[in-house]
């Protein structure tokens, strides 16, 4: 539990409860975009909060590209280089 408390103390880190809105929208996204159920939760949270999804799952990136902005950590770091 110490790890969880450490995460909670990071200023830009948020725990998002999986409520009915997220669950329902995740199910719709999973069915429509043919995304695995648990992957659709990450896509849905990214969609609701309007933030870029950073993931190593290139299949997830490809399948959700028309819905959200996403990239791999490596690609994201390359974009930040001067």
| Per-residue pLDDT tens digits for 12-49 | 888 889 999 999 999 999 999 999 999 999 999 999 99
| Neighbouring residues of 60: CB distance < 8 A, sequence distance ≥ 6 | 35, 36, 39, 42, 43, 53, 70
- What pLDDT score does 22 carry? 96
Q: What pLDDT shows up at residue 5?
A: 86
Domain ranges within the chain, ordered by starting residue = 18-80
Which of 7-11, 20-24, 49-53 is the least confident region?
Answer: 7-11
CB atoms within 10 A of CB 50: 8
82, pLDDT greater than 70: no
Q: Which residue has the higher pLDDT, 4 or 56?
A: 56
């Amino acid at each position: 539990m110490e790890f969880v408390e450490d995460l909670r103390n990071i200023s830009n880190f948020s725990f998002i409860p999986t409520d009915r809105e997220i669950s329902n929208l995740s199910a719709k996204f999973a069915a429509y975009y043919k995304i695995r159920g648990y992957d659709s939760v990450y896509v849905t949270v990214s969609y609701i909060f309007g933030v870029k999804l950073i993931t190593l799952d290139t299949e997830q990136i490809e399948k959700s590209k028309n819905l959200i902005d996403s990239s791999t950590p490596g690609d994201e770091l390359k974009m930040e280089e001067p």
